[in-house]
Amino acid sequence: MFGPLWKFIVGFGVIAMTSFSGTADAGLITFNSRAAFNAAGGAFLPTETFETATVAAGNIAPFLGPLSIFSNNSVFGPGDILPGIAFGDSTNVMLAFGTGTTFLGATKMIGGSPGALLFSAAIGSPFTLFGADLFDVGLRRPLPFGVVVNTTAGTSIFAAAAAPTGAFFGIKSTDPILSIAFAPLGLPVVEGIDNVTFGTSAVPELSTWAMMLLGFGLVGLRLSNRNGALAVGA
């Protein structure tokens, strides 16, 4: 299922690590702030947090990838991952981090093998928005990453950063996104990823906001009238 995709991603990962350019295409917008990403539509999309992982607090559990809603391994079962997305690395051996693992924080996350290329890919319908917290495990300092974005219009390479406590990277595309790969530049570190938000932009239009506000106003008025009637009756 993922064979051709692996070869494509690994090939472009090598490009990202050796001839990084960081040039953005006209149809792509990147974000280094989740707040800005949410304002662009991310706030209305599902987020995968990997909290269903069977891994004890403070522990690291290996499992076989790729990881998706269909997975059934030692850490994740069928239905544990949100539909529409898959995760993997170039070795097929992935890692799940329990809460409080070393300095990574209070939530669970997943990562790839040391030096492996970590990727996310669409299953079924491609998405146009993708955002995630990126971690470098073990260095305790920010690390530059190359990000390879494969859309229906072609492939683009961007700069990003991972940090021990997480650094946000987000992207919005006018063309459907097929896959995103993350390649550490220069050091064979373990990449971690968490709080992955993905989907198609669904920011309500102004007319929709107006209808929602009107609806809330009518509900409030009805409750106010009802409470007034109850007070008179009492």
Q: What is the DSSP track for 164-220? A: TT-EEEEEEEEEEEEEEEEEESSS-PEEEEEEEEEE---PPPHHHHHHHHHHHHHHH
147 CB-side CA count, 13 A? 28
Same domain, 198 and 224: no
Same domain, 195 and 232: no
Same domain, 131 and 227: no
* Whole-number average pLDDT of the chain: 77
Instruction: Give the domain extent around 81.
Output: 3-203
Each residue's pLDDT tens digit, 162-220? 777 788 999 999 999 999 998 777 666 778 899 999 998 755 544 444 454 555 555 55
Q: How many domains does the chain have?
A: 2
Q: Which residue has the higher pLDDT, 80 or 119?
A: 80
Model confidence at 17: pLDDT above 50: no
Block residue for tokens 């390649």: 183
pTM of the model: 0.76
Same domain, 213 and 198: no
Same domain, 189 and 155: yes
Same domain, 65 and 137: yes
Which pLDDT score is estimated for 18? Answer: 34
Q: Which CATH number covers residue 178? A: 2.60.120
Q: Which residue has the higher pLDDT, 144 or 10?
A: 144
Model confidence at 55: pLDDT above 80: yes
Same domain, 232 and 155: no
Q: Which residues, 6+ apart, have CB-to-CB distance to 32 below 8 Å?
A: 160, 161, 167, 168, 169, 170
Same domain, 158 and 232: no
Same domain, 29 and 120: yes
Question: What are 118's two structure tokens?
Answer: 């970590």
Each residue's pLDDT tens digit, 92-142? 889 999 987 655 567 899 988 776 778 889 988 889 999 999 887 765 666
Same domain, 108 and 162: yes
Same domain, 199 and 209: no
Same domain, 181 and 226: no
Which pLDDT score is estimated for 146? Answer: 84
Which pLDDT score is estimated for 8? Answer: 38
- Over range 26-30, report the average pLDDT: 87
